[in-house]
Chain A
């Protein structure tokens, strides 16, 4: 299969160059990516040992998108995400313990165990899921933004979704509605090139996603989703645009998933060499190399960041293990709000 058919452009060189952020911010972004990576590696292991069941969709490889975008949001903003949302929840401020307990299905989980991996919720941080219907989050996000608009609040609604969603009517209808009504929503499209196993060019007549958004008259940005410098800058720009009342914005984050779509995916649709090539653009090692090159990070410091993330993961697992099962008598609880 040719590269063109597979919907790929030749790989850009790995992200490089000076990091223009204050060192504290840079270290935060790096730490956040490492936290997601370590948490999800543990999730994969726990899936293997049967502690986590159901579907499990890992974000490994795509961490620079969440790590760059979430810090651009304010506490009062809304976040809508997909079923590949562990990292977004974590960086929005949902404690790793509560996320891990949710994966276990324990009562102490962030959705009291009712949701699992695909339905992480946290009202305290305005994290509204965890939507496992592709495209399902877009109209919801438009509605949250409509509420913000009608209440004259300055809230931004950040809506994360994969490029697979652009084939859904929900995408086109929501983009139109958002632009028509100039709703304060930032559409963050994580283009990892594959909708499950279907490459973009095998499902879309127009593979330039920004062209689709621009067709609605919407402002667009395209950024290297493997470069946390670029993702953070773009997300800040997007939030400023929305907060200034200029209407919605669409960002295409060009990224790549290093792991299978879910734990059931044998990855028949892509070559191992392609994955390996993308790994040279990995968001964590390229960013840490840049920080080292400008003297803002040493290897021992990196190892300490990594060790701290591992400790956080261990504590989260211990918390989940110690968690309790909801009694079956409570089965019918929370079907209706009282």
Chain B
């Protein structure tokens, strides 16, 4: 059955609710409004206000309450409308959720699932266009995943709810209308995925850059790896691919400095330096807040042409 990314997210939520009665959803406008992106549409009517909870605009409190509810034995799904607003909830995510298990000596943990939309590309200007996956991926104790495909949009939520740790799921409005077959297979929260075979260059990416990277790959015979899991990183398929292609471009919608791309490249440099026939390259967000005009926003983001140019640049 072919469905959209948005429908896959919605199906994941319904499946999660049907599987486990400890699961509930809370966030801004998830109920009466039906979800900012209509992802949770119909859920309030089906599951009622106890399990589908509209919250005040209090990211700090309701994300923290999600952590507490998880500690108390529930399986909360906390929706933070966008990653931009998640900055208001960094304390409960970083200082509490990620650290509880360790600082309690392994006694307690908070298996909260935090879903948030992220990324640029829709002319929403600076404060609604951040890509901050790397900030969360920096923190031990969190699992951080990026859903770039229909199967992951559906299955990552279900996998996250099975995980005993706090999981942050990034969802991409730029991909909401993409369509594919939903396989219905279980997905994991541990492995990177090979999305396209190629022989000339390894293209590593995640999230909304996946379709752009796949498009570029056609022109340069690229092998495309979707990181999927941003913490803990699975570098095995990346290294295997590089040992075949001997060249690598990392594509990351985040800013270049301190980016996930930087981390991936450092690991490649540490572990596969002598397998490379060319320096590593990357295509990232330009180091500016995202401007409103379409042409400037496009210029600030990774695009297929930039990826192609970076890949071709590795062949002298």
Binding site for B on A (CB under 8 A): 78, 109-115, 119, 121-123, 128-131, 133, 136, 138-148, 150-151, 169-170, 173-174, 176-177, 180-181, 333-338
User: 12 new A-B pairs (CB below 8 Å) besides A147-B73, A336-B165?
Assistant: A114-B103, A114-B104, A129-B103, A133-B95, A136-B92, A142-B68, A143-B76, A144-B68, A145-B68, A146-B69, A169-B60, A177-B62
Q: How far is the CB of A108 from chain B (nearest CB, A)?
A: 10
Query: B193 interface residue, CB < 8 Å from A?
Result: no
Q: How far is the CB of B81 from chain A (nearest CB, A)?
A: 16
Q: Give 6 closest A-B pairs by Cβ, nearest first.
A: A143-B68, A139-B64, A147-B72, A112-B105, A173-B61, A121-B104
Bound CA–CA A118/B249 (angstroms): 45
Q: Contacts A131-B96, A143-B65; is A334 near B74 (CB within 8 Å)? A: no
Within 8 A of A (CB), among B154-178: 164-165
Q: Which residues of B contact A115 (CB under 8 A)?
A: 103-105
Bound CA–CA A150/B92 (angstroms): 21
Contact sample, A vs B, 25 pairs, CB 8 Å cutoff: A128-B71, A136-B95, A136-B96, A139-B61, A139-B92, A140-B65, A140-B96, A143-B65, A143-B69, A146-B69, A146-B72, A146-B74, A147-B71, A150-B24, A151-B72, A170-B64, A170-B91, A173-B60, A174-B65, A176-B56, A177-B56, A333-B106, A336-B101, A337-B109, A338-B164
Q: Which residues of A contact B68 (CB under 8 A)?
A: 139-147
- The contact string, 1 if C-beta is below 8 Å from chain A, for chain B 89-120, is 00110011000111111111101000000000
Bound CA–CA A130/B100 (angstroms): 10
Contact, CB under 8 Å: B58 / A177: yes
Q: Contacts A139-B63, A148-B72, A151-B74; is A336 near B141 (CB within 8 Å)? A: yes
Question: In the complex, what residue of chain B is closest to A110 when comparing beta carbons?
Answer: B105
Binding site for A on B (CB under 8 A): 24, 50, 53, 55-56, 58, 60-74, 76, 91-92, 95-96, 100-109, 111, 140-141, 143, 164-165
Contact, CB under 8 Å: B67 / A140: yes
Q: Which residues of B contact A176 (CB under 8 A)?
A: 56, 58, 61
Bound CA–CA A128/B141 (angstroms): 17
Q: Which of B64, B111, B141 contacts A143 (CB 8 A)?
A: B64
Q: Which residues of B contact A130 (CB under 8 A)?
A: 103-104
